[in-house]
Structure 1
Amino acid sequence: MTNDTQTVPERLVAFLPNLRRFAISLCRSRELADDLVQMACERAILAADSFVPGSRFDAWMFRILRNLWIDHLRRQKTAGPQGDLEDARDVSIPSGEAASLARMDLLEVTAALQKLPAEQREVLVLVCVEEFSYRDAAEVLAIPIGTVMSRLARARKNLMELTGISFDERRSPDSKGGVL
């Protein structure tokens, strides 16, 4: 948890990996994600006085980034299609059979994730990767909590259909939940 005495730029430094991960999930392009993150950081620094101390910094930053993404999409309507996310070749994992299988699963899930509609992908990343509550995800996306829950359910179902992986089967019987 960040200290409320930290400035917006100090918080941004620690939050950059999360912001970049969310940006990649939105636009499916590492280069564009980096541009969006840079613009979000600039906007946050310029609007630092609008951040309410004690509120969620991560939700504020994700909302800024998402609004930039929506603005970009509106501008790109006449520019043509966007580039796809390259295969996750830069993911570092140890060698061996287990690592190879894990990498294959990762690539399969990553490819399936990119096939989900944007609204499902956004909710899935915020709730399952960034560990936002349904309420916080609803606030970032400016939608009702019920919509978050239904999009998340559809995203999980579609991801399972696309990968053939049942996420319930991957949990141990003692498990209280799972990432997806």
Structure 2
Amino acid sequence: MTSLSDRQLGKRQRQELMAELKGLKRFCLSLTGSDADADDLLQCTVERLLERGIPDDAHTARWAYRVCKNLWIDELRSREVRTRHANTVAQTGEARELSPSAETQSAGERSLAAVNEAMAKLPEEQRMALTLVAVEGKSYAEAAEILDVPIGTIMSRIARARKQLLPALD
């Protein structure tokens, strides 16, 4: 059994995590599509890393991105369960439509909004791969390790994402 002190991050790991926070925040934003959700996801990711630690032999940044991705998948699943439950309870009522927040509608310049919209239309796997490589500057090998898929899968996801984005941004 490991004690709490065994699970805490070492000085090197803390420094590496701090250096990666900006990139991790952008990754959170690409997953969630909302500043508020991205902030929450980033906070949950850092809390999880501080609570449970990072294995000594693990690459800190890759571990952090993987934890972040897994937390987001968990959040999506729990939202789906909550939505299903709410729909079951309110079957007699009208279906609720989710509208974009005022923050989302007013955020950024037109070109940034167009990119965000086009990225949001990508399948999640393509969006994550493209964000890690094109936005975060990770190598294909690093992205493959973070997403736990073969490097060829990363390459094909990025190629399909770019092919889908070009017409949307022209």
Provide the aligned length of Structure 1 versus Structure 2: 146
Secondary structure of 1:143's aligned partner = coil
| CA offsets 1:67-112 (integer angstroms, 9 cap, x no match) | 10111111111233877581473x5xxxxxxxxxxx4332222221
Please give the residue correspondences for 1:105-124 in structure 2 after superposition, counting only pairs within 5 Å.
Answer: 105-124=111-130
Please give the residue correspondences for 1:30-69 in structure 2 after superposition, counting only pairs within 5 Å.
Answer: 30-52=35-57, 55-69=58-72
- 1:20 maps to a residue whose letter is K
The reply to whether residue 126 of structure 1 matches residue 132 of structure 2 is yes
Q: TM-score, normalised by structure 1?
A: 0.72
Between the aligned partners of 1:127 and 1:138, the Cα distance in structure 2 is 10
Percent of pairs with identical residues: 40
For structure 2, the 5+ residue unaligned runs are 1-9, 84-96
Between the aligned partners of 1:162 and 1:50, the Cα distance in structure 2 is 42
**Does structure 2 conserve the Cα–Cα contact (< 8 Å) formed by 1:36 and 1:65?**
yes
Between the aligned partners of 1:31 and 1:83, the Cα distance in structure 2 is 15
1:82 to 1:64, Cα distance in 2 relative to 1, 3 A: farther
Q: Identify which of 149, 153, 163 aligns with 1:147.
A: 153
1:43 to 1:122, Cα distance in 2 relative to 1, 3 A: same
**Does structure 1 conserve the Cα–Cα contact (< 8 Å) formed by 2:54 and 2:63?**
no
CA RMSD of aligned residues (A): 2.3
For structure 1, the 5+ residue unaligned runs are 92-102, 165-180
The reply to whether residue 18 of structure 1 matches residue 36 of structure 2 is no
1:149 to 1:47, Cα distance in 2 relative to 1, 3 A: same
Between the aligned partners of 2:98 and 2:62, the Cα distance in structure 1 is 26
Ranked by relative contact order (alpha carbons within 8 Å, sequence separation 6 or more), the top structure is 2
Between the aligned partners of 2:98 and 2:50, the Cα distance in structure 1 is 28
Between the aligned partners of 1:19 and 1:83, the Cα distance in structure 2 is 27
Measured after TM superposition, the shift of residue 35 of structure 1 is 1.1
Runs of 4+ in 1 over 6 A off after TM superposition: none
Q: Identify which of 91, 100, 104 aligns with 1:86.
A: 104
